[in-house]
Amino acid sequence: MRNTTRTLLAAALVLGVAAGPAIVPAVAATPTAAAQQTSDPALEVAMSAAIAGLPRADATAALVRVGGTEGSWQGSSGVHDLESGSPADPAARFRAGSVTKVFTAATVLQLAAEGRIDLDRSARSYLPKLIPRSYGKVTVRQLLNHTHGIPAPDFQGGTVEEWYENRFRIHTPEEMVRSATAKPREFRPGEKQHYLNIGYTIAGLIVERVTGDTYERQVERRILRPLRLRDSYFPGTDPGIAGPHNHGYQTMRLDDGTTGLRDVTVWGVTDGWAAGDLVSTTADLERFTRALFAGRVVRGPLLEEMFTLPEVPDVKSGAPAAFSSGLAMKRLGGREVWGKTGGRWGYNAAIASTRHGERTLVYSVNSTDAKGQDTNRTALKVMVAAYGLPD
């Protein structure tokens, strides 16, 4: 089935792209690539090869930055949009998806350092009118490390086509929390791990409760402004991307019943909120990653919360937990790599680093299979080129 879909995607890149309700005629898209010289020739070769040949079936553009003491490299490939075929803008903004969770976790941990949030205190004690007694034992720490046992809320549709039909629907955090907590728990808090957005939705509401301010302004005041992340912002109910950005495309069933690519650049993200609505750039995310791993965002002992995996099994696979508070850990090329990926329709993004910043990686891939079950092929090539194969 997946091979068939990839064949259809390849054909779609040749035949045309759907934008809105109509199929847009194809215009020749000339693959482009731009790279900044690095002192590490092997890194340059590997990274250039990882993003070569775009646009192709799985992605239309890629923006990549590698940094750290082991060498640096910057490159871009692909097109700004399939209609014009103009080169991808390496400074473009994009949807960062669940990379937002790192910013949310860091904000909560800053408030914990100030004594305004207690990680071992129940979420219900902060939000007694919203969190029911059935979830009264869930702690703030369990919200951040996905061991809370709260299921996902209900949304309209289970297919990309159904999501597309509801792309402008506005979801409130309270609505999502009520939908989730009306269901039975998946497991006892602290016993297993299940990666979901809902814990971060609740965490965002706790930030608002203890500060008397909006979640967005708190992240801006605590992280975006101090680090001068001038191209990062929260879009709220605006479904567009402000400023320069490369278009995102997603494979789906088109109006004529065929499978092809549709321009999904304009798409509301209120379902993500504190778990996934950030818009950013690779330059901003690289600056944030360096500061975070250097202890300049979350300071002191609380930073270790982001590098501590709970000793519980994954609810689905039974494998050891892979998510900490805000980050995830994988062993690549024989060492631990910490970071976070994110996906919105038409966009995949990630930040990653070795523990002490020897090698950092930030990428944005305009993937045509975002939110798929498998890792996007181009994104996987980028990760392997930067760090090596999974152990």
- DSSP structure class, residue 334: T
Nearest residue to 316 (alpha-carbon basis) of 154, 146, 140: 146
| Backbone conformation region of residue 221, classed left if phi is above 0, alpha if psi is from -120 to 50, else beta | alpha
CATH code of the domain containing 322: 3.40.710.10
pLDDT above 60 for 361? yes
pLDDT at position 372: 76
The predicted structure's pLDDT at residue 1: 36
Q: What is the pLDDT of residues 50-88, one digit of tens each?
A: 999 999 999 999 999 999 999 999 999 999 999 999 999
- Domain that residue 323 falls in: 2-387
Full 3-state SS string of 45-73: HHHHHHCCCCCECCEEEEEEEEECCCCCE
Nearest residue to 292 (alpha-carbon basis) of 256, 253, 250, 325: 325
Structural domain tally of the chain?
A: 1
pLDDT computed for residue 136 by the predictor: 97
357 band by pLDDT with thresholds 50, 70 and 90: very high
**Average of per-residue pLDDT values in the chain:** 91
Question: What is the tens place of the pLDDT at every residue in 251-269?
Answer: 999 999 999 999 999 999 9
- Nearest-Å Rg of the Cα atoms of the chain is 20
Q: Is the pLDDT of residue 4 over 60?
A: no
Per-residue pLDDT of 268-324, as tens digits, reads 999 999 999 999 999 999 999 999 999 999 999 999 999 999 999 999 999 999 999
pLDDT value for 17: 42
| Contact residues for 137 (Cβ-Cβ < 8 A; gap 6+) | 122, 189
Q: Residue 232 burial (CB < 10 Å; 0-12/13-18/19+)?
A: buried
Contact 265, 247 (CB under 8 A): yes
- If one compares 253 and 35, the residue with the highest pLDDT of the two is 253
d(CA 264, CA 240): 10
Report the alpha-carbon distance of residue 55 to residue 31 in Å, rounded: 6
The structure tokens listed for 175 are 């609505």
Q: pTM score > 0.75 for this model?
A: yes
Give the lowest-confidence range in 54-58, 151-155, 280-284, 372-376: 372-376
Which letter, b or e, does each residue of 129-161 get, where b requires 16 or more Cβ atoms within 10 Å of its Cβ?
Answer: ebbeeebebbbbbbbbbbbbbbbebeeeeeebe
Rounded Cα distance, 346 and 341, in Å: 14
Give the pLDDT band of residue 7 (cuts 50, 70, 90): very low
DSSP H helices in the chain: 2-15, 41-50, 100-113, 123-126, 140-144, 160-165, 173-181, 198-211, 215-219, 282-293, 377-387
Question: What share of the chain has pLDDT > 70, as a percent?
Answer: 90
36 pLDDT exceeds 80?
no
The whole-angstrom separation of Cα 194 and Cα 49 is: 35
Collapsing DSSP states into helix, strand and coil, what is residue 224? helix
What are the tens digits of pLDDT across the range 178-237? 999 999 999 999 999 999 999 999 999 999 999 999 999 999 999 999 999 999 999 999
Going by pLDDT thresholds of 50, 70 and 90, the confidence category of residue 156 is confident
**Residues contacting residue 7 through CB under 8 Å, at least 6 positions apart:** 57
Q: Report pLDDT for 35.
A: 54
pLDDT value for 34: 56
Are the C-beta atoms of residues 307 and 235 closer than 8 Å to each other?
no
The contacts of residue 359 (CB under 8 Å, 6+ apart) are 66, 67, 68, 69, 70, 71, 353, 386, 387
- What's the pLDDT at 288? 98
Token pair belonging to 226: 């101090």
Quick: pLDDT tens for 78-136.
Answer: 999 999 999 999 999 999 999 999 999 999 999 999 999 999 999 999 999 999 999 99
Name the nearest CA neighbour of 380 among 358, 355, 363, 360: 363
Q: Is the pLDDT of residue 163 over 80?
A: yes
